[in-house]
Amino acid sequence: MPNYDYDLFVIGAGSGGVRAARVASGHGARVAIAEEHRIGGTCVIRGCVPKKLLVYGAHFAEDLDDAKHFGWKLESATFDWPTLRDNVLAEVSRLSGIYTQTLENHKVEILKQRAVITGPHHIRVGDRAVTAEKILVSTGARPQVTNRPGCEHGITSNEVFHLERLPTRIVIEGGGYIANEFAGIFNELGSKVTLINRSDTILRGYDQQIRDRLLQISVMKGIRFIFNAPIDNVARDPDGVLTVHLKTGESIECDALLFATGRIPNTKGLGLDSAGAQIDEKGAIRVDDENRSACPSIFGVGDVTNRVQLTPVAIREGQAFADSFFGGKPTKVDYRCIPSAVFSHPPLAGVGLTEAQARNQLGSIRTYTSDFRPMKNVLANRNERALYKLIVDEASDRIVGAHMIGPDAPEILQVVAVAVKAGLTKTQFDECVAIHPTMAEELVLLR
């Protein structure tokens, strides 16, 4: 039997790679993990965590405005971007340190260098050559920026957390969750926001009623949307002002341009072809339901496989991989009914089938909606309505989809996702006594 340096070598210390490394080590494997940037990956360093902290910070704009209706007398409030930015980055560093400590506590060897695969069991780490029985690629994905003249003047979600100053005017290109989340953040913080999109649809994949409601509220809040408007080129004057020229002929001046047009898997230059691993047309590693590539000793989890680009999915895949191949517990990830959320202003979330998907797949369905002003919004004189929606299979009474937009929608939807995943029926929802007064009670009162 070959004698390898490691039982498992992980390339990329993001959520999926860290979970796989520490669990495999806990099962007794000799594990090393290589990371050329910072421990923690996209979610911790430049994604979910710092973004959500900015969302919290931005929401104070509305909370402070609403407070006067609840009897609070506040002097004029001012916002300081460097304070929020630096506190967020400090929290990111703290969490990266915790991830590092977790790996060390589980006796995982950390190599802070770029790793390149040179064969089915061979890896080059800097100037060092090592071998491993199994190689796990968990290098995540990176922002996609199309090659148009002047695009180098823009930034992506990697750089947005490090802005020296809050832009007075910002243009955001994209229609997905990253674009809409940062549109809400910058709008609440006082920037003039223009969101441009190459198509006429935002948040493709979410229920149409819910995304239409977000668009309506966003426009009401002052965000400008321009649809069917690809960028032609970007120019920058000596004072740093950007002019974004659209193919429609319109031009927009701004202080910052954020590209949020999707993410592509980080497979370039990893040497996967040297071992026979296959890459698809989008640059992702092709893997089977055991996370194994075309090369039997090389595996992939997380965004680099481009199956479902969500942190909790990467963690589940890393856990399943480690349990299957080092813990003697064969496990496969169930990709049905994965809940997701957009931390926009207000946030939205969904699980299961949208109404359109349900009609196409099931034919006969029932839909239940509740369109209401949350109690807090009523007293604050804020004309912003929440929308909850359940989709039910007519034949079985089973709830096959749940979608909502409004305050704390992701927090509420997480619990609803358990019920949808478990196959509960509308009758069972109806039999549940409501907690009053709450927003969530609408889910068991829908008639």
Which residues are designated catalytic?
Answer: 436
Pairing of strands 224-226, 192-196: parallel
Residue 33 phi/psi, 5-degree rounding, is -135, 135
* Structural contact between residues 154 and 145, judged by C-beta atoms closer than 8 angstroms: yes
Helix (H) / strand (E) containing 135: strand 128-137
| Nearest CA among 443, 447, 444 for reference residue 388 | 443
| Nearest CA among 415, 410, 423, 403 for reference residue 205 | 403
For residue 292, the SS3 value is strand
**Alpha-helical runs (H) found in 282-408:** 311-326, 355-362, 375-379
E strands, 307-407, in order = 340-342, 348-352, 365-372, 386-393, 399-405
Long-range pairs for 239-242: beta carbons < 8 A, 24 or more residues apart: 242/153, 242/154, 242/171
Q: How many degrees, rounded to 5, is the angle at CA 285 between CA 281 and CA 289?
A: 115
Residues in a beta bridge with 32: 9, 109
* Structural contact between residues 96 and 40, judged by C-beta atoms closer than 8 angstroms: yes
Instruction: Find all residues with CB under 8 Å of 40, minimum gap 6, and list them.
Output: 13, 14, 15, 18, 92, 95, 96, 99
- Separation in Å, CA 42 to CA 16, 51, 88: 11, 11, 15
